[in-house]
Structure formats: structure tokens, C-alpha cells
Amino acid sequence: MNGPQTLINNPELLRQLSDSELQATLLEGVSRTFALTIPQLPGELYPAVANAYLLCRIVDTIEDEISLSPAQKKYFCSAFIDIVKTGNNAEIFSAELAPLLSEQTIPAEHSLIHLVPRVIAITRSLDAPQIEALACCVETMANGMPVYQALDLHAGLKTMKDMDDYCYYVAGCVGEMLAKLFCHYSPEIAAHREELLKLSVSFGQGLQMTNILKDIWDDAKRGVCWLPQDIFTETGFNLAELTPTTNNEQFRLGLSHLVAIAHGHLQNALTYTQLLPSHETGIRNFCLWALGMAVLTLKKIKANLNFNESNQVKISRNSVKATIVATKLTVRSNMLLSLLFNLTSRNLKSPNWHYSPISHTGQ
């Protein structure tokens, strides 16, 4: 256990790794979920998708860093957009940002910031369309996220449209980028490019909404709420009154409505996956594992709407293993995938309540 942890804490040791080993080690340090799913992709896709996730994580690190002022965050985000686009000044960026990171930022992210020049060198080694897809995503994310840093979020977002927009900046644009990378990899996939790009935004939103719902109470402890007030106005609850001790039936009803909306986005995620060629089992599994884990998380939330901390609705390792086994068995069959999805998610809808999401036109 000590070996990998010592490695992730030591940028000098990490620099000695090959590009593929470096990206795999950094991924393991910053996200076990993506360290599990990204290796399922075909070998030709792995370097670009692993690199893309690390670039997004650098933006996240800037946004989450408590020691940085809003002006500093804007400065570093803007600088990083230029670095990804041009490949220039990565060393200066790394040298400026690394000393400013606090102890609240995890060691793997400290190492990631120290290694920005190496990560960017890998970015620049990719094909031009891949670099363009990554740069477009980083620009969208790095320009969009600071907008929300400036808001007072103790009483939530005003409308579902605001939540849609937020989810687009942090996850929908990542979905678009992945769709572009998949299309670049395969002319067969590119035949469905426009439909995939549209569905990819919804796919990202479904995953992000699931995370937001799971983390409601962790966020509430920090005085932050990402839920939309208009959904709760319908049920008679004011999000300004939300505290870690809230126990309110109107709130739970609003929560169940958001679960239903997230379910609709995950239905689109299934459609997206079913558009991919059945023989591309690696890409399908990459999508299905994320989709399956989101469905199981929503199921736990729906079955326990009075939960008051994220651990109560976190899925177990056995559930993750079951998701992997079930999707591997059904990965090539659209009919079986639909059956599996419908069986596992049948309780997530709100039968007597309907919501029509406003479609977000991506880039």
C-alpha cells in the first residue's frame, strides 16, 4: 500500500515514469472511478481520454482551492486555457500555482499541479482534432465555473435551467468532448456524430445531478446548495431554510422530482451508449459502468429520501462489481441493456409529475 502512495506524493519520482504510467498513476490518485473505467477504452483512445480527465482535474483543483481569491482563480483559469491551446508557459503556470495550494488539497492534486508541464506535453502529442476537443472542453469549463464561485449559493440555484447550465459547465462539456474523441477514433461512430453530441450533454448532466443529490448534506454543511428553487417551490419548500438537520416531507418530494429528472437524463445516456457499435465493447463498458453506478446511487437515494449524509447512499464495492458483471454480460445487446436499465431504474420515475427539460445547445 505504501508504494503507490509514496509515488503519488513525490513529483520527482513521478517524472521518471513513462507517459502511460504517469497518467495511470495520477488518475489512480485523483479518481479511483476513472482509474477503473478509462482503461476499458481501446488503446488508441486511452491516452487522450486519460489526459482529458487530468486537464479537467487541474481546472477543478483551481476552483476548489480555498486559499485562492476569486481574482486568482480567474487568472489561473484564463492562463490554463491558453496553455492547453498553445502548449506554452506550462512551467511558469506550475511554478506560480503549486506553492499556493493548501493542505486541504489532496497530495495527488499537489503532484498534478507540479507536473502540469508533463501533462501538457502529452496533450500536445495528440492528434490535432483531439487537442481541439480537449481545449474546447477546458475553455468551457474554466470560463463557466468561476461564474458560480461568485454566487451566494446558500439558498440554491433559482431555476432548473440554472442547474442545467451549471451541469453543462462541469459535466456536459466533458460529455461533448468524449463524443468528439469517440468520433475521431471511429468513422462508424462518427456517422451518429450530431445525435451523440446532443445526447452527450444529457449523459453528463445525469451523472452530475446524481453527484449533486448524493452530496446534498456535505454541501449543506459548507453552506452551499446546488438544487433549483423552482422545483421545490412546487412542493412548498424554501431552500434558504435547508440545514444539515432538515427533516421535511415537502423537501423529500422535491428531491424525488429531481431523481426523476436525473433518471430521464440517464435514459438518454443509455440511448447514447446503444448508438455505439456493439463490437466496441470497451467504449460501451466505459459508458455503462458510469451509467450503472449512477442508477444504483439514485435507487439508494429514492429508497432513502430522508438520508442525511452521503455515506448512507454511497453504493458498495459489491454493487460496483455487480454493475461490471451485469454490463459485461449484456454489453453487445441493446435489447438486454434496455431490459436491465428498465428493471433497475423502474422506481426512479415520479408517475404523477412531469417535467420537460429545456435542451442545452452545446458547442
Residues 217 and 308 sit within 8 Å (Cβ to Cβ): yes
Segments making up each domain of the chain, as ranges:
18-127, 151-351
Phi, psi of 359 (to 5 degrees): -70, 140
pTM over 0.85: yes
CA angle, 358 then 361 then 363, to 5° = 155
Nearest 10 degrees: Cα torsion 171, 267, 176, 358: -80
- Which residues make Cβ contacts (< 8 Å) with residue 252, sequence separation at least 6? 305, 306
pLDDT at 21: 94
In terms of Cβ atoms closer than 10 Å to its own Cβ (0-12, 13-18, 19+), residue 32 is exposed
Q: Work out the pLDDT band at 352, boundaries 50, 70, 90.
A: confident
Question: Inter-axis angle of helices 173-185 and 193-214, to 10 degrees?
Answer: 140
pLDDT digits (tens, 9 = 90+) for 234-277: 999 999 999 888 999 999 999 999 999 999 999 999 999 999 99
The hierarchical CATH code for the domain 151-351 is: 1.10.600.10
Residue 124, H or E segment? helix 116-124
Is the pLDDT score of 357 beyond 80? no
The residue type at 126:
L
Taking the C-alpha atoms of residue 63 and residue 128, their distance in angstroms, rounded to an integer, is 27
The residue type at 94:
S
